Amino acid sequence: MSQPSRRFSTIDPEAKAPTLKRLRQLSRLLDKAIIIPGTRVGIGLDPILGLIPVGGDFLGVMLSAYIILESARLGVPARTLGRMVFNIIIDGLAGTAPVLGDLFDFAWTANERNVRLLEEYLRFPSQNQSANKWFVFAVLIGLLFVAIVLVALPVIIMRLLWGALTGS
């Protein structure tokens, strides 16, 4: 008999419901913690963090990466994890643009989208193969790199603008 493939450690089935509940709460906190009265528009911690110069988008990406890590532990396949990472990258990169990026953060609820992708997987888990631990490791390193770029990019832009304004 062939040996079973080594996968990223999975969570016990009894732990899936509390984990999913925790991820839903985190997603709500990050994307729509406060609903504007009379609308369906919510303001979460992610857009507010985005207002913090330089480090805000870094923190947002790192908090969002937790949802991906837990999704991998629940056995989400590589393709779905890739879609989740794409959502976070769009959120992080768009958030670096002053003012417009912050407005985009209100509309693009990457964490809610990622929890929906997780829920979709959990409805039919046997149809997909879990991502292996090396893929998950590469995804997390990639997100760390994106977060670092989100810190470095505004610093570089501010330095270039300062040099152009002062003539140095």
Centroid of chain to Cα 8: 19
The string of pLDDT tens digits covering residues 6-25 is: 444 444 556 588 889 999 99
Q: What's the whole-number mean pLDDT along residues 100-126?
A: 86
Share of residues in the chain with pLDDT > 90 (%): 20
- Residues 125 and 7: beta-carbon distance below 8 Å: no
Q: What is the mean pLDDT of residues 106-122?
A: 91
| Helix 56-73 and helix 110-123, axial crossing angle in degrees, nearest 10 | 0
**pLDDT of 145 over the 50 cut:** yes
* Tokens (6 digits) for 16: 């899936």
pLDDT at 7: 44
Give me the DSSP letters along 54-117.
Answer: TTHHHHHHHHHHHHHHHHHHTT--HHHHHHHHHHHHHHHHHHTSTTHHHHHHHH--HHHHHHHH
pLDDT category at 151 given cuts 50, 70, 90 is confident
Q: What is the pLDDT of residue 3?
A: 46
Question: Is the predicted pLDDT of residue 4 greater than 70, yes or no?
Answer: no
**Residue pLDDT, tens place only, 70-102:** 998 888 888 899 999 999 988 888 877 777 877
Average model confidence (pLDDT) across the chain: 82
pLDDT (average), residues 126-153: 78
Q: Which residue has the higher pLDDT, 98 or 117?
A: 117
Mean pLDDT, to the nearest integer, of 127-146? 78
